[in-house]
Amino acid sequence: MTIQTFPGVMGEPVALRAALMLYPARYRRERGDELSAVFADSTAGTSRLATAREVLDLGAYGLRMRTGLTASSVVGQLFALAAPLVAGAVAGLCAAYTVDQVVNPAWVPAWTPPDRIGEVPAFVWFLGQALLPLLLVAAVLAGRRREARYAAFGVAGVGALGVLTAAVQHTPSLWWFLARSGESTPLLLAGLLFAFAPQELMEERPDARGRIAVLAAAAGGALILTAEGFYSSFGLLDRDAAVALLLVPAAALLFAARGRLAPAAIGLAALPMTLGFNVFRTWQSVGGMWRMAPLTVAVVVGLVATGWMLRRAGDGRRTGAGAGGVRSLV
């Protein structure tokens, strides 16, 4: 494929080329010239800011194609179905965590304003996890998609802050890092899942049945945290519950390979809630990395096989989606 330089993109061929490199090679061969031509026409005579937005938009679709998260792929449809549920689940989980902190406060309560600069991240994390998931689920229920997406990025940001803080504070202790970062991985994964789900497939505003599904997901998130013992070290003793909380949602993903997206979406919405802390819990309760290896290999092989089957399913047939997209769970 040759990337042509048109009058409208003088100065931006590198950015255009970089955006096109994000596309799968086959798609780039088939559509690269066409995309370049439309990009050139669209950016002719526009400001640098407008051109930069075009480049970002072009690159974003390339990334979606790379990751299989397009609106026409089965994975994308699965993400769109799971997104409102994951919003409910993370809101329920975080609300339960906040209530637990208020009812059973630590020696220094989490909401105590920081005295030192080093305490700021933990304070911001606590406020963020208490507020942003609620904003996310409120935006979903109100049908405010743009606000929901911003809130989802915020939720992911708070999760990333928690993981980073755990890494900085507890390295080189792997035990402490996994224990503390497990409290943030639900935020990080749920925020990313929602933010990168194809927006065009999501309902404008959930109906009564949809709102009930979101609220049920919130109750599910609170139940998951209860089953995890509110991240308490006592919860580490229950190996069977930890393995079940990992395997049941992961196994539900297999339904997608049979074209049954609803149960798979429920599993996908639950997995961000359970993954981080229960990997740590399982590792702790089975007695080390080597003993955990067979389970890890089984889960990874299962997930890779599911992903492979989904890609094949997406390549091989038209989706059942109508002109409006897939029928949402909500």
Partner 1 sequence: MTERAMQEPTLLLLTALADAPRHGYALIQEITAISDGRVKMRTGTLYGALDRLLQQGLIEVAAEEIVDGRARRTYALTEGGRGALATEAERLRAVAEEAQRRLAAVRPAGFRPVGGGAATLAFTRVRGAYA
311 binds partner 1 (CB under 8 A): no
Each residue 270-309 as x (binds partner 1 by CB under 8 A) or -, in order, gives ----------------------------------------
Each residue 147-186 as x (binds partner 1 by CB under 8 A) or -, in order, gives ----------------------------------------
Place of tokens 């609220």: 215
141/266 Cα distance (integer angstroms): 18
In the DSSP assignment, the letter for residue 328 is P
Q: Is residue 212 left, alpha or beta, with left meaning phi > 0 and alpha meaning psi from -120 to 50?
A: alpha
Assess contact for 236 and 284: CB atoms under 8 A.
yes
Each residue 192-221 as x (binds partner 1 by CB under 8 A) or -, in order, gives --------x--xx-----------------
203/210 Cα distance (integer angstroms): 9
β-pair partners for 325: 322
316 binds partner 1 (CB under 8 A): no
Going 321 to 68 to 163 to 298, the CA torsion angle's sign is: positive
Instruction: Compute, in degrees rounded to 10, the torsion defined by CA atoms 205, 209, 210, 212.
Output: 120
313 binds partner 1 (CB under 8 A): no
Residue 51 or residue 285: which is nearer to partner 1 going by CB? 51
312/290 Cα distance (integer angstroms): 33
26 binds partner 1 (CB under 8 A): no
88 binds partner 1 (CB under 8 A): no
Residue 32 or residue 159: which is nearer to partner 1 going by CB? 32
Residue 58 or residue 195: which is nearer to partner 1 going by CB? 58
Stretch touching partner 1 by CB under 8 A, among 66-74, 82-90, 234-242, 303-311: 66-74
Chain positions contacting partner 1, by CB under 8 A: 4, 31, 33-42, 53-54, 57-62, 64, 70-72, 200, 203-204, 318-328
